[in-house]
Each structure stands twice: as structure tokens, then as C-alpha cells.
Structure 1
Amino acid sequence: MPTAALVTGASSGLGAEFAAQLAARGHDLVLVARSEARLTALAERLITEHGVHAHVLVQDLTEPDAARRVTDRLAALGLSVDLLVNNAGFGTCGRFEDIAADRDHDQLLVNVVALVDLTHALLPGMLERGAGAVVNVASTAGFQPSPYFAVYSASKSFVLNFGLALRQEYRGRGIRVLTLCPGPVDTPFFDAIGTRDAAVNGSMTTPEPVVRAALRSLDRDRGYVTPGLGNALAAHLLPRRPRTLVTALAERITRKVLAPSGTTAQSKEYAA
């Protein structure tokens, strides 16, 4: 059965860049997102430029049975997945009580539930074939609690710890698991979240070097990567205890996302 790399949130940002760099490496692709027109345009470009097969799979990952629908489509296409890139995600920011509960619920469905469900669905096939890889996109926000990004940072902490645990489980069994922890990246994420102040360190990189660092780290079978010297230093040198002090320090940095009126910015759509 033919194999392919499956990328969620593939229509823009990091997802589209993952698709482009994987196509340049010769991977056939399954592109998953909600935006059919953007996925189709990307697929056509990658087919033309790299001569790969690229399949478009339109799916809203907030749907509770999203992973089953994806695997049903894969079966219909006669495809197996040898590389899963769990990239889709979105964030909310502001005071917790001002954020719509259904948005945070959807955020967890995309950032956590769909990621775990797709890994559950596709990793057993990799084990049967004796080879495969999973890349989970977390964030530097996952290294500490982040006031005004409470649900987002907690979801990314889950992704980081989940990925590291899986890597340890599957070492020596032919499966590589990498967790990508970028700092702010110039993607539609910040347009969706409603404020560029969500890039709390004030600087952004572009998707290309982030994805390049991720694929290089996957080749080297690293457990996680935090691209960029400043991001790496912040992630590894900031004390983690006492946790209440770390959280208080984080709040002094993240409070700038609050509008003068105290209103909340929150995403209108996820990276899809």
C-alpha cells in the first residue's frame, strides 16, 4: 500500500511550509484542513513543482469524529501514513472569564483531542510496518503557565509532555516522535487570535527556518526542538520552580495582550 505524509492545518502557515518542504524531499502528501480552495491550490503547486502525489482532505478537526473521518478517507484512497504532522491548532488570549467557553472547548478539541486521536489512529500502522514518524507542533508557551493564554499554554504543555512520553515508549521500535516548540512565527495565527501583541517577546520568525529545523531534528531523532537561540535560552534557562513565582513573572510579560478596556482578543478560526 502506498505511503504518504499527512499534514494537518496544511492550508497556511507552518502546515503549508511542512507540506512544501516534505514535497521537496519527495514525500507524497495528504493535506488536511477546512479550507478546500487553499488546499487545492497548494496541492496543485506541489504536484507541478515536485512531481509528488498530493491528496486534499477537507476536515474540521473540531468535529468529535474527525480522526475517524480522516482514516476512512485514507482507506478509500488506499493510503497508509508513514509521517504524521499534527500541526493544526489555534489560540485564545485575554482574561479567562471573557473568553467564550465554546471557543476554548474547540481549542482543546483541535490542539489536544484531534492530535491524540489521529496519533492513536495512525501509529499502529507504522508499528506494523516497523517504521514511521510523528511530529507534534507545540510552542514555547508550553514550557510554563501563561496567564491570559491559560488554555492555549496548557494545551501546548500537554502536547510537549505527550510527545516526549511517546518518544520514550517507541524508541527502538522504529518510530520517531518529535515535538516542535517554536516561538512566535509570522503566520495567520496572529491574525486569527486578534492581536500581534500575542507575540509576547516582540519578535517573530518565518515558517521556513522553523520547519527546516524541525525536519533536521527529526532526521537526527531528537525528542524536541525549540528553533532560534533566544527561544531556546528562554525555554531552558528560565527557572521552573517555584511555579507560582514563574507564573507571576510570566504574567508581567503576557498582560500586554489585554486591551486598555480590559477586553479580550480571541481567535476566530484555527490554523487550517
Structure 2
Amino acid sequence: MTVNATDSIRRHGIGKNIAVITGASSGLGEVFYETIARRYPDLDEIWLIARRKDRLARLAVRFPDIRAQVRSLSFDLADPASYDALAAMLANEKPVVRTLINNAGVERDGLFRNASARDIHAMIDLNVMGVTMVNHVFLPYMCEGSFEVITGSVSSFAPIPWQAVYSASKAYVRFLARALHEEERRRGVNILLMSPGNMNTEMNVKGASGGKLGRLPYLDLSREVERTLIMAECGRAGYTPMLFYKLYYAFTKLMPSALAVKVASLEDGGTVRQQC
């Protein structure tokens, strides 16, 4: 008979209690780290996963007074080999993943036909494959009472011209998260999809974005991260911060898709026509 990782943890009581944060080196991931370090003092370890070793090293020593050991793990989650390495670490150490923040992602805006193949692959590899494989690797080590936050986006509510691949990748994340919420709730593990709007991060610096995107309201990241964790603890399936974005979600559900896609479009200029 095959014994999976979760059964082994429950039966033998082995493994440290850990939190895992992907995309931890900046932006939303960094705020999740700051909040988790303060909010969950009984953790044994916090695993910070991102590509940039220097940023991770600085983050690891930011809170010298916390009980948890902070581990900096430099992995490119767009590289399939990263998941083999993480799976091997987990199989060797058999931790109990109490909190998983599945946050790594990348965004590129612009007309699809002008996009570089590199940017298209980056969004699909990280936003789709990365989010999926993080779940596949870590979910077996989560037990009753554990929870995961998956970072989605308000861009998933409707197709967005001039952000076609990114919005499509986040629509995939939305469906994945909702399905996993239903699967995992049966064993007491909660999966929550956080769908944020504009955030003042390296990927979207406040005041630097032009056009329609730059005019949308920005979130208070510290406040919304705290609220997200509370909702994840309580078993909620999703959270969209800020009334403006909640109303946008309602609009996309009530309006015909032909209208929603025009309102969601990031194009500000006039129509560009090309004679064929």
C-alpha cells in the first residue's frame, strides 16, 4: 500500500511547521513575508523562494528576533528543474506546510502581435506552469488547518486587449484555484484566491504607468495582506480587495462579454488599421 506524504506526517508527527512564500523578493511577496513573520510566531521555518539571491539574503536577516529560521531558496520557477529540486527537499525533510503563498508571477502589457516570444513564454511559464507546479509539489505536505493563498488578478475577470496573455494566464489561475479549493476542503486545507488590482510594486510603480492602467486606484498592501490571511484562515475561497474592484467584478459578470472586453481594454488611443 502506498503512503503519501500527508498520511506519513499525520501518522508519525514528524516535520517542522513551515510557511512557504514564492515570489518573495519584492512587492506583494515581500509584504506577505513581513506579515507572516509577525503574525505566526510559532512557525519553525519560513521558506522564501525567488530568483534573486541578493534580495533573498537581505530579507532573511530582516527580522532577527523571530523564532522561525528563514531559509533563502533561489529558484527560477519558470524552470521545470526547480520543481524536482524542491520535491527532493520536501521528501527529505518532510515538513508540515502550514501556510503557502503561491505568489510568483510576471506581467507584460502591449499589443499581442508586437510582443516578444520571450515575454509570452515568461508569462505562460511562470503564471500558468509555475502556479500549477507549486501546488503539485507542496500540497501533499499540507494538513488539516493549513491554507494557501494564490495570487490572481482583477485582470482575470474579463479578457483584456493590450494585456491578452496576462489576463488569459490569470483566468487559468482563477479556475485552478476554485477547483483546488473544492478538492482540498475535504481534508481541511483551504485554498484562497486573492485577486488584487493595482499595487505599488516593482512591476507596477505608482505614478509610472500611463494610460487607463495608471488611473486605477492602488491598494494598501499591508492592510490587504492582513485581511487576506484572516480570510484564508477562515476558509474563504476568494478575496477581491477594494470596493472599486469588487464593483468591476460584478460589472464583468452582469454585462455581455462584448461590452466587458471593450471597457477592460487598456488601449487609450484611436483605432489602428492596417491595410492587407
* TM score, norm. by length of structure 1: 0.85
Amino acid across the alignment from 2:140: P
1:71-113 deviations in Å (ceiling 9; x for gaps):
3334455634232211011111110011101211121111110
CA contact (8 A) 2:144 2:188 kept: yes
Q: Displacement of 1:130 after TM fit? A: 3.6
1:4 maps to 18
Q: Give the structure 2 partner of residue 269 of structure 1.
A: none
Q: Distance in 2 between matches of 1:200 and 1:152?
A: 17
1:143-182 deviation per Cα after TM superposition (whole angstroms, max 9, x unaligned): 1111100010111111111111111122231110000001
How many angstroms apart in 1 are the aligned matches of 2:243 and 2:26? 25
Secondary structure of residue in 2 paired with 1:45: coil
Structure 2 residue corresponding to 1:246, chosen from 260, 263, 273: 260
Change (3 A) 1:201 1:179: farther
* 1:74–1:80 CA contact under 8 A, matched in 2: no
SS in 1 for 2:204: helix
SS of residue matched to 1:186: coil
Q: CA RMSD in A?
A: 2.4
Correspondence 1:1-272 to 2 at 5 A: 1-25=15-39, 26=41, 27=43, 28-46=45-63, 48-75=64-91, 79-126=95-142, 129-190=143-204, 195-197=209-211, 199-251=213-265, 254-256=266-268
Work out the CA distance in 2 between the residues paired with 1:173 and 1:150: 36
- Aligned counterparts of 2:219 and 2:213: Cα–Cα separation in 1: 11
Partner SS, residue 21 of structure 2: strand
* Poorly superposed stretches of 4+, deviation over 6 Å: none
1:207 is displaced (CA, Å) by: 1.9
Count, aligned residues:
254
Structure 2 gaps, min length 5 = 1-14
Letter in 2 for 1:213: R
* Greater relative contact order structure (CA < 8 Å, 6+ sep): 1
Task: State the alpha-carbon separation in 2 of the partners of residues 134 and 82 from structure 1.
Answer: 8
Larger Rg: 2
Select between 161-170 and 90-99 the one with higher mean Cα deviation.
Answer: 161-170
Structure 1 residues 31 and 96, CA, compared in 2 at 3 Å: closer, same or farther? same
- For residues 241 and 233 of structure 1, the distance between their equivalents in structure 2, rounded to whole angstroms, comes to 12
Shift of 1:235: 1.2
Structure 1 or 2: more helix by fraction: 1
State the identity as a percent.
Answer: 30
